[in-house]
Structure 1
Amino acid sequence: MSAETTDTLPHLVTIVGRGVPSNYEITVDGEIELVDADPLEEATVVTDHAAEGAVDTGVMRFRFSGQMANVHVVDWNGVPASESPSTPEVHIDYGLPARNGN
């Protein structure tokens, strides 16, 4: 990831899978970009202001600008985060510098 990307997309959101197929949708009021993954391989759709996809195990990372507008995660049955312990964990870090490989 270039320093220019870190400057223009200074924030990081991390989706951590819990071993159960789950879906996520992220919307920001700035721009968003998938970090270190192939969107086609990961079945992730990324537009200028939103990202959506599925996660089972592993971690999905996105850099973004602006503010987080919406995060919606559901488990394989469509049960939302507040009602299901199987939905992915979401971590949002504002102004987090990029590390090598992230």
Structure 2
Amino acid sequence: MPSGNEMMNYVTIIGRGVPSNYEISVNGNIEPVADSLEETTVISEHAVEGTIETGVHRFQFSGELANVHVLDWNGTPASESPSTPAVHVDYGLAVRDIGN
């Protein structure tokens, strides 16, 4: 696993009050930030999946974001449902920039 200095990219999933599932994959390595550990399953060094209803799940990663797949509680994809979580991606942030 790369050191924290190499994993300067972040993806944040923000719940909108509806149970939802997500899967994120990258072409580098990805790991949950400490506050997201309980609701997240690490599939491999390159992918994570989880569920969210409210709150925020954050991940740090190296490389580029390869895929984000988000579904609401009944399986409707993000492009067709206003209830799916919001997804934010930030490249090149230092830990101090995100408040950790």
TM-score normalised by L of structure 1: 0.88
Deviation, 1:37, is 2.6
Distance 2:91 2:99 in 1: 18
TM-score normalised by L of structure 2: 0.90
In structure 2, the partner of 1:68 is 65
Report if aligned partners of 2:10, 2:93 keep a CA contact under 8 Å in 1.
yes
What RMSD in Å do the two structures reach over aligned CA positions?
A: 1.4
Distance 2:63 2:8 in 1: 9
**What percent identity do the matched residue pairs reach?**
64
The residue type equivalent to 1:67 in the other structure is E
In structure 2, the partner of 1:20 is 18
**Structure 1: 4+ residue segments shifted above 6 A:** none
Deviation, 1:97, is 1.3
Report if aligned partners of 1:25, 1:71 keep a CA contact under 8 Å in 2.
yes
Gaps of 5+ in 1: none
1:95 to 89, 92, 95: 92
Q: How does 1:1-102 map to 2 (within 5 A)?
A: 4-5=3-4, 7-37=5-35, 39=37, 41-42=38-39, 44-46=40-42, 47-99=44-96, 102=100
Number of paired residues?
96
